[in-house]
């Protein structure tokens, strides 16, 4: 009995030592770099056990207390934290750094091997197929679809005119759910009329539920997480969203297989265009990958455009001097009537473009990105081993006073041509950059401009305070915890 117990102890001790011996290069690197003291097992995970509104302050405090790059531990994972434009350029431009960190496995529960979470040859191959489909032609061909749903939003916003302060987020959210649902999935969502809200709400919950688990190392083991309320939320979200998207993927594959047309209609939704590629060569992607790619693109498109639009409305209310310039530009190019813009006019809206970009600076789509080098990688004189985590902060580089005149305020002049020319190109990377840049950035900029043209043509926006007064939270993206509060008045153009 005693001998058997001793053997078990020796075996466990041997495994323990073997595990740590394989990780000795991580420990050696960790001791070389500045960073907060870490506890056994959880590392620095307890530091992130805080309110949503405090998470950005916790992250920023790392660079205030320690020289960069900073190291910290999240459970057994060692991360190096970078927030200089020069470092971002090296990391984001390298194919060695294109691999998502293993910690994204918790996001894969929702998004599978989609474009955000997949890596390697599969990601490269599927991205090469999908990105060319989400181009300027796709945007222009679906302009009528966008405008149709924006018209409904305009009616709903009109009903809120002169009725005091309200949160504009939910109305915009449902509008983009309808837009993305039709242009990507070929579905009449009718969210603005109260339909399919279980799917819309489940999709919104992905960010908060998934992020909560990701940032708490003690929730990482399934053995623990399966007994929490988070597991129930996770199962609900996965069940609703996966089956919803699967339904439209199967319909698209059936439509393409039974269609007598050569190729898809030029105004076909994205799901039909991908289905057409699969129909011609079913080896390029299986049905499961197809489902997760569509859900990933839907989720990223709808959420991004919703938040940026809502925050830009707030900024125009808080900084009326910029709203006035943008509105006059819209009037001079697109006229005073909602829906009167042509696709060719978009390139002329230079000031509105500057305004959108400064909100993307303040509210980056992915404020923090985690990568894992596929082989040893050198930055400056630092050799980073292949299984070490890399964290880059777009949120901080977008506020670095070295690059930005007024970093904490909405300030469209940041994007005047002369300012852009003299700034480091990686000081502003709202859609990431390099081999993992956002495939939907063309569609996103189109949708943002179109909805803001309509809003500025019809409404004068009022707001209180300035941008630093907004309480920001960080999950997978950045959000306002203090709401998206504005007041609207019917715009009366001066003759």
Which residues make up each annotated binding site? 438
160 contact partners, CB below 8 Å, separation of at least 6: 166, 171, 488
- Retrieve residue 274's tokens: 């991908």
In angstroms, rounded to a whole number, what is the distance separating the alpha carbons of residues 346 and 343?
A: 6
CB < 8 Å & 24+ apart, contacts of 278-285 = 278/253, 279/253, 284/125, 284/126, 284/129, 285/126, 285/129
250 neighbors 241 (Cβ within 8 angstroms): no
Cα distances from 234 to residues 229, 246, 288, 479, in angstroms, run 9, 18, 19, 21
In angstroms, rounded to a whole number, what is the distance separating the alpha carbons of residues 131 and 445?
A: 15
349 neighbors 333 (Cβ within 8 angstroms): yes
112 neighbors 449 (Cβ within 8 angstroms): no
Cis peptide before 69 (omega within 30 of 0): yes
User: To which residue do tokens 């129930």 refer?
Assistant: 232
Annotated binding residues for heme, written as ranges, equal 438
DSSP string for residues in 183-224: HHH-----GGGT-SHHHHHHHHHHHHHHHHHHT-GGG-SHHH
Angle of CA points 177, 468, 214, to nearest 5° = 55
CB atoms within 10 A of CB 67: 9
In angstroms, rounded to a whole number, what is the distance separating the alpha carbons of residues 102 and 22?
A: 17
- Helices 441-458 and 143-158 pack at an angle, to 10 degrees, of 40
- Retrieve residue 449's tokens: 């401009």
Angle of CA points 168, 170, 174, to nearest 5° = 125
In angstroms, rounded to a whole number, what is the distance separating the alpha carbons of residues 169 and 54?
A: 22
Rg (CA), the chain: 24
Task: Decide: residue 166, CB within 10 A, 0-12 exposed, 13-18 middle, 19+ buried.
Answer: middle
Nearest to 94 by CA among 404, 456, 371, 288: 371
């Amino acid at each position: 009995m005693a001998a058997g117990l001793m053997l078990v102890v020796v075996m466990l001790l041997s495994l323990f030592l073997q595990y740590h011996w394989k990780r000795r290069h991580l420990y050696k690197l960790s001791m070389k770099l500045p960073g907060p003291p870490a506890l056994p097992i959880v590392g620095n995970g307890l530091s992130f056990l805080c309110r949503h509104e405090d998470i950005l302050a916790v992250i920023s405090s790392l660079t205030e207390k320690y020289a960069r790059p900073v190291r910290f531990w999240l459970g057994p994972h060692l991360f190096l934290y970078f927030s200089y434009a020069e470092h971002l350029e090296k990391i984001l431009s390298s194919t060695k750094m294109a691999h998502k960190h293993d910690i994204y496995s918790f996001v894969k529960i929702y998004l599978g091997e989609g474009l955000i979470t997949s890596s390697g040859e599969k990601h490269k191959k599927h991205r090469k197929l999908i990105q060319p489909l989400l181009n300027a032609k796709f945007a222009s061909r679906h302009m009528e679809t966008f405008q149709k749903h924006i018209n409904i939003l305009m009616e709903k916003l009109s009903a809120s005119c002169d009725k005091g302060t309200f949160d504009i987020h939910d109305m915009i959210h449902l509008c983009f759910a309808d837009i993305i649902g039709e242009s990507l999935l070929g579905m009449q969502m009718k969210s603005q009329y109260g339909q399919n809200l279980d799917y819309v709400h489940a999709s919104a919950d992905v960010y908060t539920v998934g992020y909560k688990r990701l940032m708490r190392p003690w929730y990482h083991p399934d053995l623990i997480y399966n007994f929490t309320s988070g597991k129930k939320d996770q199962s609900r979200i996965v069940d609703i969203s996966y089956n919803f998207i699967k339904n439209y993927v199967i319909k698209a594959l059936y439509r393409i297989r039974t269609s007598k047309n050569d190729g898809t209609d030029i105004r076909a939704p994205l799901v039909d265009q991908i289905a057409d590629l699969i129909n011609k060569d079913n080896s390029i992607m299986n049905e499961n990958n197809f489902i997760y790619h569509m859900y990933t693109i839907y989720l990223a498109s709808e959420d991004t455009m919703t938040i940026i639009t809502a925050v830009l409305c707030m900024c125009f209310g808080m900084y009326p001097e910029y709203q006035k310039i943008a509105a006059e530009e819209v009037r001079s190019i697109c006229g005073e009537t909602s829906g009167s813009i042509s696709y060719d006019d978009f390139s002329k809206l230079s000031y509105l473009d500057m305004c959108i970009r400064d909100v993307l600076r303040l509210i980056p789509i992915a404020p923090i990105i985690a990568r894992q080098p596929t082989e040893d990688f050198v930055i400056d004189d630092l050799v980073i081993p292949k299984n070490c985590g890399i964290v880059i902060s777009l949120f901080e580089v977008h506020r670095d006073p070295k690059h930005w005149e007024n970093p904490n305020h909405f300030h469209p002049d940041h994007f005047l041509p002369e300012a852009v020319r003299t700034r480091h190109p990686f000081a502003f990377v709202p859609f990431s950059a390099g081999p993992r840049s956002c495939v939907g950035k063309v569609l996103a900029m189109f949708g943002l401009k179109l909805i803001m043209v309509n809003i500025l043509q019809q409404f004068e926006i009022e707001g209180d305070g300035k941008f630093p007064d907004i309480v920001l939270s960080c999950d997978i993206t950045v959000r306002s915890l203090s709401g998206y509060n504005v007041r609207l008045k019917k715009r009366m153009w001066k003759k």
